[in-house]
Amino acid sequence: MVPGHAVNFVVCQLFALLAAIWFRTYLHSSKTSSFIRHVVATLLGLYLALFCFGWYALHFLVQSGISYCIMIIIGVENMHNYCFVFALGYLTVCQVTRVYIFDYGQYSADFSGPMMIITQKITSLACEIHDGMFRKDEELTSSQRDLAVRRMPSLLEYLSYNCNFMGILAGPLCSYKDYITFIEGRSYHITQSGENGKEETQYEKTEPSPNTAVVQKLLVCGLSLLFHLTICTTLPVEYNIDEHFQATASWPTKIIYLYISLLAARPKYYFAWTLADAINNAAGFGFRGYDENGAARWDLISNLRIQQIEMSTSFKMFLDNWNIQTALWLKRVCYERTSFSPTIQTFILSAIWHGVYPGYYLTFLTGVLMTLAARAMRNNFRHYFIEPSQLKLFYDVITWMVTQVAISYTVVPFVLLSVKPSLTFYSSWYYCLHILGILVLLLLPVKKTQRRKNTHENIQLSQSKKFDEGENSLGRNSFSTTNNVCNQNQEIASRHSSLKQ
């Protein structure tokens, strides 16, 4: 990161944290109207954007404003397609301009970062309105029905959702219904089904305090920032392609340094995403319900789970816990809505959304191969290592090591950005994991998912059952993630029923 921009980002987020505390204390939904909360959240967000990015922040209003006009003019039948093309195209133009005209290779708090989040929100909401106002209920999956928006948002609601101060700089993405529920103060209303099966009775549950969750997340931020400032700079990923290192290091040394250098590159993401989550929580947004022990859960829009990431024993487990909200977005706007090669299309969309650096495309193309190979390996071998427990422990240790190396190998181009250094790295490893992945796919039987057929045939049979199960599972974790996008055809198992409109 460019130091000045990084400082700007941190200062703005700390200001947003203080503003969130003030917002929850003095502009609580019980004390003021939704209109005031929308106005204040929007104005604070635009102020932060203007302070951090200058007049480049106008792109946020232009992108949101034109998208809103498209929704109004085009109509609910096709607006999700037009909004998708425009928002992603506008984002790509801005990314091309920034990368190839201004500061190629510089990781700065650039204005395209917030635009990535706004693009997610624009496209998600367009799909949710299309589902709620055009498609029939029986055509929707249970998760699509949960998120469907039944009326067109006002311009103020739209701008508040896209540009509120809690998520303008670093997100995370949230659904429109969850955000409106928070603004209107219905996050703690529990809905019970009446005798006819319809939602009728509502009562208000005591509002839990987010203070404990916020403090815990700020501690994680502090440790992540300390780790990034002290250790990360001494373990650069670029050293993996240093000529002297490649010529003199043994293979065990190369493997260990690859893992450690990519491990050291993650804390900056831990810091940014956890701080963004803490800001939302401090404002009172992010409450999911209560776990089996009665403890409040503030992970409705959390973007990662650090312990599960670092202890991942499979490619699936790693991706399930990394950038969770983006994975959900990819599932909802791409994977569930395409009939041709959904896995490949999802990875391509992810690469386009991330930016125009060639390294992104190398990482996501490699990711497709690694995902399919890991799926084949898991399906063919895992059941042999379930029992006894000692064998399962041995399997977990081996798969943890393989997974960490495979993830590190895959994301090196994402950090190096350019084609030449990325191919230099892969050639120094003789493309060994690429070759191994191809051999796995050629030699091992791959189970057909029959995704479209099974999904279509089973939706109508299972919708009512899944919907009832979702009603009764307040504490369950409903996050579906990138590898769920690619490996599973399940619907999100449950969503907290108090967040439904």
- Backbone φ and ψ for 314, nearest 5 degrees, come out as -155, 155
Over residues 90-109, the pLDDT tens digits come to 999 999 988 877 665 554 44
Cα–Cα distances (Å) from 269 to 92, 259, 363, in that order, read 22, 17, 17
Spatial contact of 217 and 281, defined as CB atoms under 8 Å apart = yes
In the structure encoding, which two tokens stand for residue 441, read together? 């796919």
pLDDT given at position 3: 57
Provide the residue type at 71 as one letter: M
- pLDDT reading at 453 higher than 50: no
- pLDDT reading at 197 higher than 60: no
**Would you call 75 helix, strand, or coil by DSSP?**
coil
Cis peptide before 153 (omega within 30 of 0): no
Over residues 112-161, the pLDDT tens digits come to 899 999 999 999 999 999 999 999 999 999 999 999 999 999 999 999 99
Rounded to whole angstroms, the Cα distance separating 239 from 235 reads 8
- pLDDT reading at 44 higher than 70: yes
Rounded to whole angstroms, the Cα distance separating 401 from 398 reads 5
- pLDDT reading at 402 higher than 50: yes
pLDDT given at position 205: 63
- pLDDT reading at 194 higher than 70: no
Rounded to whole angstroms, the Cα distance separating 487 from 46 reads 39
Greater model confidence, 220 or 492 = 220
Over residues 267-297, the pLDDT tens digits come to 999 999 999 999 999 999 999 988 888 889 9
pLDDT given at position 139: 92
Exactly one of 28, 354, 380, 489 is catalytic; name it.
354
Phi-psi category of 432—alpha, beta or left, where left has phi over 0 and alpha has psi -120 to 50? Answer: alpha
How large is the average pLDDT for residues 43-62? 94
Exactly one of 162, 240, 281, 323 is catalytic; name it.
323
* Alpha-carbon dihedral sign for residues 262, 268, 270, 273: negative
Helix intervals (H) in 382-450 = 389-416, 419-428, 432-443
How large is the average pLDDT for residues 173-201? 71
Beta bridge partners of 202: 191
- Is 323 annotated as catalytic? yes
Strand pairing category for 289-290 and 296-297: antiparallel
Rounded to whole angstroms, the Cα distance separating 145 from 391 reads 43
- Backbone φ and ψ for 296, nearest 5 degrees, come out as -65, 140
Q: If pLDDT is split at 50, 70 and 90, which confidence band does 233 have? A: confident
Cβ contacts of 35 within 8 Å, gap of 6 or more: 156
In the structure encoding, which two tokens stand for residue 469, read together? 């199960």
Over residues 235-268, the pLDDT tens digits come to 999 999 999 999 999 999 999 999 999 999 999 9
How many residues make up the chain in this entry?
501
Rounded to whole angstroms, the Cα distance separating 181 from 188 reads 9
Q: If pLDDT is split at 50, 70 and 90, which confidence band does 454 have? A: very low
- Is 472 annotated as catalytic? no
Beta bridge partners of 192: 201
Rounded to whole angstroms, the Cα distance separating 78 from 8 reads 39
What DSSP character marks residue 491? P
Over residues 456-500, the pLDDT tens digits come to 444 333 433 433 444 334 333 333 334 444 444 444 334 333 333
**For the chain, how many helices (H) and strands (E)?**
22, 4
Environment class of 329 (CB within 10 Å of its CB; exposed 0-12, middle 13-18, buried 19+): buried
Over residues 302-326, the pLDDT tens digits come to 999 999 999 999 888 898 899 999 9
- pLDDT reading at 394 higher than 60: yes
Q: For the chain, which residues make up each domain, given as ranges?
A: 4-184, 208-243+259-294, 305-448
Q: What is the 3-state secondary structure (H, E, C) of 285-340?
A: CCCCEECCCCCEECCCCCCECHHHHHCCCCHHHHHHCECHHHHHHHHHHCHHHCCC
